[in-house]
C-alpha cells in the first residue's frame, strides 16, 4: 500500500529534517571578518543541557521567548543521539551513553521548527558556509567539545541498531563571529563569548562531523499546530495535532 502523499509532504514542511546538500561558496563572497550583534548567552541549567541552552539563546536572538527547560521538555528522548536526548540531563559533565550524554543536530533543528523557527540540520557544515551565515547576521549552533578537547571518537550502538559517533565532553556553542585568526563562540556552559583559533576549533568540530544547526529566521507561516512527544516502536516522534507522526530525522 502506498503511503499517502499528504503525510510525506507534512514531514517535509513540519519538522522532519532533510540534510541539505552543501552549497558552493566562493571565497571572494566571504568578508575577511564578521560579527553578529545581539546574541545573549546564559549558563546552562543542567550538567548536560548545553544543546537546549544554545537552542534557547539562539531562538531569543530571533525574538522567540521560551525557557531552557521548556525546550528540553519538548525535545525527543532516546538512547540514539540522532533521534533524541540520551540519558539523564543531570549526570556529570563528560558522561557517555547510555547514562547521560546529549543530542545531535536533527532533533534540535526539529524542535526549533516546532517553536516556529526555520531551522536546518547540517553534517557537515563547511567552514566557508559557517562564515557566510555569520556574515549574513545568522548565528549558528555548532557541536564540538568543552575547551576544544580532543579525547578521540568512539562508536555507540543504540537500541535501534544505529551506530553513532560519540565523543567525551561533547558540547555546543553558538558561533557569533570570525576573523582571520579564529572564531568567537557563545559557550553554553557559562554563557560567555570565547575566541578559539582555527587550529583549536576545527579539529574539535571535526570529531562529530562538523555538525551545526542554522536558522534562516522565523517560519514565514508560523504553525498553530500542537506538537507533543510520544514513544513508538521505532523511536520517539512528534505527534502533531494528535494526528500525524513526524520523526526528528
Mean of the pLDDT values across residues 42-60? Answer: 98
How does residue 9 score in pLDDT terms, banded at 50, 70 and 90? very low
226: in domain: no
Please tell me the predicted confidence (pLDDT) of residue 11. 36
Please tell me the predicted confidence (pLDDT) of residue 15. 39
Instruction: Name which of 46, 182, 206, 233 is nearest 123 in CA terms.
Output: 206
- Lowest mean pLDDT, pick from 32-41, 199-208, 217-226, 228-237: 228-237
How does residue 71 score in pLDDT terms, banded at 50, 70 and 90? very high
**In 10 A of CB 187, how many CB atoms?**
22
How does residue 29 score in pLDDT terms, banded at 50, 70 and 90? confident
| CA atoms of 125 and 118, how far apart (whole Å) | 17
Please tell me the predicted confidence (pLDDT) of residue 25. 53
183: which 3 cell numbers? 572564531
Please tell me the predicted confidence (pLDDT) of residue 19. 40
How does residue 227 score in pLDDT terms, banded at 50, 70 and 90? low
Mean of the pLDDT values across residues 167-195? Answer: 98
Please tell me the predicted confidence (pLDDT) of residue 35. 98
Structural domain range at position 208: 39-220
153: which 3 cell numbers? 571518537
- Lowest mean pLDDT, pick from 9-18, 120-129, 227-236: 9-18
237: in domain: no
239: in domain: no
Of 16 and 39, the structure prediction assigns the larger pLDDT to 39
Of 225 and 170, the structure prediction assigns the larger pLDDT to 170
Instruction: Name which of 13, 188, 208, 211 is nearest 110 in CA terms.
Output: 13
pLDDT tens for residues 184-221? 999 999 999 999 999 999 999 999 999 999 999 999 86
Q: At 108, which CATH number?
A: 3.90.70.10
Number of domains in the chain: 1
pLDDT tens for residues 101-127? 999 999 999 999 999 999 999 999 999
225: in domain: no
247: in domain: no
**In 10 A of CB 33, how many CB atoms?**
13
14: in domain: no
Please tell me the predicted confidence (pLDDT) of residue 97. 98
76: in domain: yes
| CA atoms of 58 and 120, how far apart (whole Å) | 13
51: in domain: yes
89: which 3 cell numbers? 540531563
| pTM of the complete model | 0.80
Q: Tell me the percentage of the chain whose pLDDT exceeds 90.
A: 76
Amino acid at each position: 500500500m502506498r503511503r499517502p502523499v499528504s503525510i510525506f509532504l507534512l514531514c517535509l514542511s513540519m519538522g522532519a529534517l532533510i540534510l541539505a546538500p552543501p552549497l558552493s561558496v566562493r571565497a571572494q563572497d566571504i568578508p575577511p571578518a564578521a560579527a553578529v550583534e545581539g546574541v545573549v548567552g546564559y549558563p546552562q541549567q543542567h550538567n548536560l543541557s548545553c544543546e537546549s541552552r544554545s537552542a534557547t539563546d539562539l531562538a531569543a536572538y530571533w525574538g522567540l521567548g521560551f525557557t531552557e527547560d521548556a525546550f528540553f521538555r519538548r525535545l525527543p528522548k532516546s538512547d540514539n543521539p540522532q533521534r533524541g536526548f540520551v540519558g539523564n540531563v543531570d549526570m556529570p559533565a563528560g558522561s557517555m551513553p547510555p547514562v547521560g550524554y546529549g543530542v545531535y543536530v536533527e532533533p534540535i533543528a526539529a524542535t526549533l521548527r516546532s517553536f516556529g523557527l526555520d531551522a536546518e540540520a547540517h553534517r557537515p557544515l563547511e567552514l566557508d558556509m559557517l562564515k557566510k551565515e555569520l556574515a549574513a547576521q545568522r548565528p549558528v549552533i555548532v557541536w564540538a567539545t568543552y575547551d576544544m578537547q580532543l579525547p578521540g571518537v568512539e562508536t555507540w550502538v543504540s537500541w535501534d541498531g544505529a551506530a553513532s559517533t560519540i565523543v567525551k565532553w561533547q558540547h555546543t556553542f553558538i558561533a557569533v563571529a570570525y576573523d582571520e585568526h579564529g572564531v568567537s563562540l557563545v559557550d553554553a556552559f557559562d554563557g560567555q563569548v570565547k575566541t578559539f583559533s582555527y587550529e583549536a576549533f576545527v579539529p574539535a568540530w571535526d570529531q562529530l562531523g562538523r555538525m551545526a544547526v542554522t536558522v534562516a529566521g522565523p517560519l514565514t507561516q508560523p504553525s498553530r499546530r500542537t506538537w507533543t512527544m510520544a514513544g513508538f516502536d521505532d523511536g520517539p516522534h512528534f505527534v502533531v495535532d494528535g494526528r500525524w507522526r513526524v520523526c526528528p530525522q
